[in-house]
A and B are shown apart, each in its own frame.
Chain A
Amino acid sequence: MRSATFIVLLASISIVLLIGSLFIGSVPISLQAVWFSLVEPTNPDASRIVTELRLPRSLAAFATGALLAQAGALMQVLVRNPLADPYILGVSGGAATAVLIGMLLGFSSAFGLTGLAFIGALVAMFLVFIIAHQNGNWTPTRLLLTGVVIAAGWGAAISLILTISPATNLHGMLFWLMGDLSYSYSVSFAFSALIIGLLLSMLLSSQLNVLIRGDKLAATLGINLKQLHIKIYILASLLTAAAVVQAGTIGFVGFIVPHLIRLTGLTDHRLLLPAATLGGGILVLIADTAARTVIAPQQLPVGIITALIGIPLFLFLLQRNARQ
């Protein structure tokens, strides 16, 4: 089967890139040194760089991207618009605002911050839905527009929190917010969220294939709309929250990746979801490796790189849709 081969290919690329990223960085480390640092550490400096800096960071980048791409794929089905993304709809913004409030109040555990991020994401998504759905019938375009405006609102709330935060916290908050993976919290936590999320969304995947054809058609084909909507809503919020706690608001991954996967002809969600998960991991891993090497030893937040890819692509697709 062609599509299964494609997923195996993506998985292999992920592994190669994860290993490859261990060699790349401001301090050159030889193949041998990387190998020994993983099996029996001899050179303590190289070993620390590899196991304490590069490996967790690469894993965090991969997990974050995978979470965002999966959240994006789910949201696109929910609002039936291939341009939807946790960042564009303001869901990341809501989660980030909640996390910043938590940081301001002195929370530091990944679990506590994820809880806050989850609440923030749920509130953000609920707000967008309530406002866009007011008269009972909403068009996907209206929902997207509402999301963009609410995202701007979260942006203002974030600026306010940053303004009143003590200067000692500011640099860390700012870098976390822009998607700096060097501040990432617990990697194992992100991976657990990723695997649980993927399993749960795979259970919904065949229903997602029906839902993209429209609410009414889905209902006549046996879908319980309200139940499915709520499941997607909660799952997408959870995935976004886990990603935001890892690395702040990295934009556009959730829309770039599912879109590129669909371009390869993979449109069945039973295959699209695992493919997007791997693809999201690959994209953010590459973006993060670039972010920490292009102007090394200075580091860039990864969100800047994804925005550089995402914004032109988004505008291009928007223009193409308008012409159709």
Chain B
Amino acid sequence: MSRELKFVEALQEAQDLCLERDPSVYVMGLGVSDGAAMFGSTKGLVEKYGPKRILDMPVSENAMTGVALGSALTGMRPIMVHLRLEFAMLAMDQIVNQAAKWHYMFGGQASVPMVIRMVVGRGWGQGAQHSQSLHSWFAHVPGLKVVLPATAYDAKGLLISAIEDNNPVIFIEHRWLYNMTDKVPKGMYRVPLGKSNVLLKGNDVTIAASSYATIEALNAAKELEKEGISIEIIDIRTINPLDEEPLLESVKKTGRLIVADIGWKHAGFAGEIVSRVVEKVYQYLKEPPIRITLPDVPTPTTRALSNFYYPLPSDIVSAVKKLLGKAAESKPDIKPEDFLDVPYLEFRGPF
């Protein structure tokens, strides 16, 4: 049965169902069992499963990731949660040197069924260290699966697949998706890892995107539809392993590619997508591809600057028009004092 659920509720439900079904699943993270419950994504779980399985932990990200790994090697399925992605960086040794390699370097004898959830912050002045999406880093490392859901439906189905997967999965959740709603069936269902999704069918321009950039691409597509421009959106829900077929097929049809990403441009995921397309279906391209990303500077705190840091749906609209040789509309008049630091006006800090 479908009902509307928020993205955050879908995450909670996925974990709840897996915890209920499989006693080897447990959740750990700083604050997973506190009153705020990771922005609500672990709400009610400690009451149902107790403080052992919903484990609050010392601020020791590196060792705790190692503990999770050691437990995964010996029969458990840990879900580790970081309220901001940046805290996972303290555990890069355990994630990159150990978890990613364990299966391969021991000749396939052991596996690491483990999910690391990381929230990408944005808005209300998150600043340089509460806002980074380093999915490109993680995707660069062989042995890590990297998943970025954009809808509540996918959030639930992908998280269940990630928990059931026998590999380390980096699960990246954009904070601005948390309150967005979607039709979400009750009960268990799986969205397979490593499958891109044609989220919107169209003929004129292909937009490859993931996470919150997918939502912005959808918004741009709605605008463009009014002008009779038809956009195809490929939601790259798993960036490693990457399912490139739907993307290549789409570019063969449209001949035009935009990649919208929530990360930086240099040496990043958007560049990887462009490379794949250029290497494999170059002859179909009618125009050079365009990347819409963050500028290569750290995230500023004041909205007077962050208003110009994050791309807007209007940037996607302009890029589409450029590819189609249409007159670009005049840039929206953004003022430093505008409240572009929130997804909607009710979204408040301080946290």
Is A bound to B? Answer: no
Q: Which residues of A contact B (CB under 8 A)?
A: none
Q: Which residues of B contact A (CB under 8 A)?
A: none
